[in-house]
């Protein structure tokens, strides 16, 4: 339990820090577009964007935090299942947070609105918009279906863990494969949410909304990555206490 | 420990060189594929491929150095501190970082500019060739000739150009033959039509010829008699009159050579008169014709040269533009200047800066104010602060390219002299007109303010300068983090040669993705600084920030290395 507590605490601290960093970057990006540095000008042009950015950036911050937690969890946990459950659950909660806020507190919050294109996240990570579209569509579903449709995205993020444990002989591969996998994840989301992926389901006889087919494809990828973990990745180290040389 | 250090040194350099060669090779292969798609001219193909390989190498240099540093870190002895590990690796790594930085800062921009020129030249050639084929297909020979001229100016020896020249010449021969045949047909038709009144017409000519003979106009008489005989050849008195007028003509005029010599002399005198009256274009045309008749006349060569010198004040030769097109980079130009609330604008589809001035294709010049000017010309040249908007073909001086005016004040001016800007201003703007990546570093550093005064976007230029200056810092940061990551993710055994040779290119690919994301993220800060500050404060802020980030990364590297397995 102590390990779990430490993981959750560290996860939340890193999440807040990365979300804050992403918000900061968005604000910095907005400043050059301002004609004057007045509050009125600022509010008129970027008020809504900056207020919503902490929630808009939350999925990206979650993915980054999850990646940064992989090495920590590898050192602390001995069981793969425990690691996946911990990270998968944390990711799911954080992914659902903006959707819950929209339903309960802030109905005007829309993740996929036109001004999104001005945020650095959408500009630099072309697949990020797709993830937001997915979450936005899932947020419009029933209470039961919403977490079920969001869960594959959350679990897929956690399922990148074995990439960081790819080979014990040369752990450097894992160290560089992990971040590349996280960046690739955004492109994967956009591929899964594309019309051609949806067409694949139509071809085999299922007519589904795009975010449903994306969820199914993500779930299949999660299973594939779990198998990859069992076959190729080394087991987590699971030391009792964090050791620093 | 010393053994480990020497091992690090020996691995870093060969691995970096190996990866650099792989990067260059991939660039070369991609350039060959890309070159075929972009229809790069065959004689530029090799330079294009090598240039592309070099640019590719510069692009891949940061991940290559990171992976080399990581691999070096993997070979460090267990339990060693970051400082001890870095001591052995840092010096060669920093030398490599310096070499890559110099390469990126000073070699890549001119190479990119050259690649840009090759791309544009090939595009111009291919466009002209396509238009030429279309013009030949539609039998527009004049247009075809113009396009062929562009093709020949760019690549006269290219097989496509030679083939096009042959097709053009064949089309010209065919067209000429058609015209001759058509004229012959027209002549025959008129002869038949006139046949009925031949005798009457012939008689008229006969009577006129006799009158001319009586009046002593022997040339007219002979001409009219010949016309009469042509119309009615069987009339004996007409043949007699023709012989008679010919005899009189022979006796009345000097021999043919003498007559020709006099005519030649008279034309030379006429040319000289035109030269004295400063009618240089007419003089040049006349002397060009005479020179083709008597190329060995020394007087003529002198007068031709003088007329050419005079002509250069108001016209330039189209072949000068074509020579520049072949040798120098062409760019679209939009030059704006505001002087005392007066707006000036010089726009050109293409601008070429050569040693003899700046040539413009399809140029418009607009000047507001009391002395408003609006002028457009197919070709123009700027020398000093004079714009010559006229051009002439050297081989066919009858063909000129003239400007169009839409302002009364300037209409008909030979030259737009004493413009409020000069050649150097336009050259400077041209240096800053292309892709920001093509601008040499020294121009960015020392001429940025001047370029901003002449209308270039300061933010874009400052951003490019900041991007360049960040390269050496990025390399140092990657070396520091690379060594630390190598130590932190060191395996139980050192990686074998096969793992290094096969794995390293893969690691470079993997490392490039996060490096790109980080560099994109840093652009936000760079944009902010570039848009909000002047040059001096921008440089101070940006360099200070880069130095600060480097120190932070050093501390981070120490922390990462401290977590390495023991």
Confidence band, pLDDT 50/70/90 cuts, at residue B431: confident
What average pLDDT does chain A have? 85
Which residue from B61, B120, B86 is spatially nearest to B561, judged by alpha carbons?
Answer: B86
Percent of chain B with pLDDT over 70: 93
pLDDT at residue B542 is higher than 90: yes
Helix/strand/coil percentages in chain B, nearest 5: 70, 10, 20
pLDDT of residue A94: 93
What chain B residue is nearest to A167 in terms of C-alpha separation?
A: B491
**Cα–Cα distance for residue pair A119/A46, rounded to 1 Å:** 10
Confidence band, pLDDT 50/70/90 cuts, at residue B150: confident
Measure the N-to-C terminal CA separation of chain B; round to a whole number of Å. Answer: 15
Report which of residues B410 and B211 the model is more confident about: B211
pLDDT at residue B68 is higher than 70: yes
pLDDT at residue A242 is higher than 50: no
Q: Domain-by-domain residue ranges, chain A?
A: 2-231
> A128-139 and A210-231 are packed helices; what angle lies between their axes, rounded to 10 degrees?
120
Work out the average pLDDT over A53-57. 84
Rg (CA), chain B: 37
pLDDT of residue B251: 66
Report which of residues A176 and B78 the model is more confident about: A176
pLDDT in tens, A153-208: 999 999 999 999 888 888 888 889 988 998 899 889 989 988 888 888 888 888 88
pLDDT in tens, B390-430: 999 888 888 888 888 776 666 667 778 778 888 888 888 88
Confidence band, pLDDT 50/70/90 cuts, at residue A84: very high
Q: Which residues of B touch A171 (CB under 8 A)?
A: 489-491
CA distance A169 to chain B (A): 5
pLDDT of residue B194: 54
What average pLDDT does chain B have? 83
Lowest mean pLDDT among A201-215, B4-18, B36-50: B4-18
**Cα–Cα distance for residue pair B498/B480, rounded to 1 Å:** 25
pLDDT at residue B5 is higher than 50: no
Ramachandran region, residue B369 (left: φ > 0; alpha: ψ -120 to 50; beta: rest): left
B502 touches chain A (CB under 8 A): no
B504 touches chain A (CB under 8 A): no
Place of tokens 């120190």: B551
Neighbouring CB atoms inside 10 A of B71's CB total: 27
Torsion (CA) A197, A202, A204, A208 in degrees, nearest 10: 80
pLDDT of residue B195: 59
Across the interface, whether the CB atoms of B562 and A180 are under 8 A apart is answered no
pLDDT at residue A245 is higher than 70: no
Considering CB atoms only, which of B71, B485, B562 is closest to A244?
Answer: B562
pLDDT of residue A10: 92
Work out the average pLDDT over A72-78. 88
Work out the average pLDDT over B304-320. 88
Confidence band, pLDDT 50/70/90 cuts, at residue A9: very high
Percent of chain A with pLDDT over 70: 93
pLDDT at residue B257 is higher than 70: no
Neighbouring CB atoms inside 10 A of A167's CB total: 16
A83 touches chain B (CB under 8 A): no
Confidence band, pLDDT 50/70/90 cuts, at residue B381: very high
Q: What number of helices (H) and strands (E) belong to chain A?
A: 11, 0
Which residue from B514, B513, B525, B517 is spatially nearest to B467, judged by alpha carbons?
Answer: B525
pLDDT of residue B192: 55
Helix/strand/coil percentages in chain A, nearest 5: 75, 0, 25
The two tokens of residue B477 are 């940061």
pLDDT at residue A36 is higher than 70: no
pLDDT of residue A113: 64
Work out the average pLDDT over B270-279. 83
Residues 53-72 in B contacting A (C-alpha not used; CB under 8 Å): 70-71
Report which of residues A197 and B340 the model is more confident about: A197
pLDDT of residue A219: 94
Work out the average pLDDT over A135-163. 90
- The DSSP secondary-structure symbol of B356 reads T
**Cα–Cα distance for residue pair A185/A90, rounded to 1 Å:** 18
Neighbouring CB atoms inside 10 A of B347's CB total: 17
Q: Which residues of B touch A184 (CB under 8 A)?
A: 513
pLDDT at residue B169 is higher than 50: yes
pLDDT of residue B3: 42
pLDDT of residue B409: 63
Residues 198-227 in A contacting B (C-alpha not used; CB under 8 Å): none
The DSSP string of A193-229 is: TSHHHHHHHHHTT----HHHHHHHHHHHHHHHHHHHH
Residues 403-462 in B contacting A (C-alpha not used; CB under 8 Å): 459
């Amino acid at each position: 339990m102590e390990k779990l507590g430490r993981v959750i605490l560290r996860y939340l601290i890193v999440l807040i820090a990365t979300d804050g960093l992403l918000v900061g970057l968005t604000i910095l990006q907005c400043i050059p577009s301002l004609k004057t540095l007045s509050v009125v000008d600022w509010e008129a042009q970027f008020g809504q964007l900056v207020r919503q950015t902490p929630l808009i950036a939350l999925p990206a911050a979650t993915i980054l935090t999850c990646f940064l937690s992989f090495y920590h969890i590898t050192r602390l946990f001995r069981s793969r299942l425990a690691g996946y459950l911990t990270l998968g659950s944390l990711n799911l909660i954080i992914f659902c947070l903006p959707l819950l806020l929209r339903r309960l507190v802030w109905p005007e919050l829309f993740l996929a609105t036109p001004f999104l294109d001005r945020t650095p996240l959408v500009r630099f990570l072309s697949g990020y918009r797709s993830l937001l579209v997915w979450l936005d569509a899932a947020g419009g579903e029933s209470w039961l279906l919403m977490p079920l449709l969001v869960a594959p995205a959350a679990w897929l993020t956690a399922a990148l863990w074995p990439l960081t444990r790819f080979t014990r002989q040369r752990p450097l591969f894992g160290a560089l494969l992990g971040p590349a996998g996280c960046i690739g994840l955004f492109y994967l989301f956009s591929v899964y949410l594309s019309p051609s992926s949806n067409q694949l389901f139509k071809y085999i006889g299922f007519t589904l909304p795009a975010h449903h087919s994306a969820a199914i494809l993500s779930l299949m990828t999660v299973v594939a990555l779990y198998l990859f973990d069992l076959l190729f990745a080394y087991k987590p180290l699971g030391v009792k206490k964090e050791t620093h040389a | 420990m010393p053994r480990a250090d020497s091992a690090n040194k020996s691995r870093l350099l060969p691995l970096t060189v190996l990866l650099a060669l792989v990067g260059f090779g991939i660039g070369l292969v991609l350039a060959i594929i890309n070159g075929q798609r972009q229809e790069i001219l065959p004689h530029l193909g090799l330079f294009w491929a090598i240039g592309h390989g070099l640019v590719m190498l510069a692009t891949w240099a940061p991940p290559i150095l990171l992976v080399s540093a990581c691999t070096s870190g993997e070979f460090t002895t267990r339990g060693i501190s970051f400082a001890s590990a870095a001591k052995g690796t840092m010096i060669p790594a920093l030398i490599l970082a310096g070499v890559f930085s110099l390469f990126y800062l000073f070699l890549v921009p001119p190479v990119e500019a050259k690649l840009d020129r090759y791309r544009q030249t090939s595009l111009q050639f291919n466009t002209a060739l396509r238009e030429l084929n279309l013009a030949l297909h539609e039998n527009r020979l004049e247009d075809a000739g113009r396009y062929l001229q562009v093709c020949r100016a760019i690549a006269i020896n290219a097989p496509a150009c030679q083939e096009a020249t042959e097709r053009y010449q064949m089309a010209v021969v065919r067209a000429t033959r058609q015209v001759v045949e058509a004229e012959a047909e027209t002549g025959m038709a008129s002869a038949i039509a006139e046949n009925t009144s031949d005798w009457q017409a012939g008689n008229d000519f006969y009577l006129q010829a006799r009158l001319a003979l009586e009046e002593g106009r022997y040339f007219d008489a002979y001409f009219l008699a010949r016309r009469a005989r042509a119309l009615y050849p069987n009339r004996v008195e007409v043949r007699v009159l023709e012989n008679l007028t010919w005899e009189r003509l022979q006796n009345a005029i000097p021999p043919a050579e003498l007559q020709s010599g006099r005519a030649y002399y008279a034309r030379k005198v006429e040319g000289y008169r035109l030269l004295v009256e400063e009618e240089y274009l007419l003089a040049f045309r006349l002397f060009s014709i005479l020179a083709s008749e008597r190329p060995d006349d020394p007087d003529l060569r002198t007068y031709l040269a003088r007329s050419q010198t005079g002509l250069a004040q108001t016209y330039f030769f189209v072949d000068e533009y074509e020579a520049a097109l072949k040798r120098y980079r062409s760019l679209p130009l939009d030059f704006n200047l505001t002087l005392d609330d007066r707006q000036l604008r010089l726009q050109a589809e293409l601008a070429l800066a050569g040693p003899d001035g700046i040539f413009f294709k399809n140029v418009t010049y607009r000047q507001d104010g009391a002395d408003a000017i609006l002028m457009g010309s197919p070709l123009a040249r700027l020398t000093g602060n004079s714009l010559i908007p006229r051009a002439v073909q050297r081989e066919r001086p009858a063909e000129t390219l003239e400007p169009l005016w839409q302002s009364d004040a300037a209409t008909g001016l030979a030259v737009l002299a004493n413009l409020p800007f000069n050649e150097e201003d336009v050259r400077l703007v041209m240096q800053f007109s292309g892709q920001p990546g093509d601008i040499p570093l020294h121009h960015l550093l020392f001429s940025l303010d001047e370029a901003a005064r002449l209308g270039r976007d300061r933010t874009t230029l400052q951003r490019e300068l900041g991007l360049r200056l960040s390269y050496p810092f990025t390399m140092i940061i990657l070396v520091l983090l690379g060594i630390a990551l190598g130590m932190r993710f060191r395996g139980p055994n050192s990686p074998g040669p096969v793992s290094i040779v096969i794995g390293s290119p893969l690691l470079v690919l993997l490392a490039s993705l996060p490096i790109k994301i980080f560099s994109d993220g840093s652009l936000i800060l760079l944009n902010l600084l570039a848009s909000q500050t002047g040059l001096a404060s921008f440089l101070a802020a940006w360099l200070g920030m880069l130095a600060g980030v480097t120190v932070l990364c050093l501390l981070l590297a120490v922390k990462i290395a401290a977590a390495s397995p023991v």
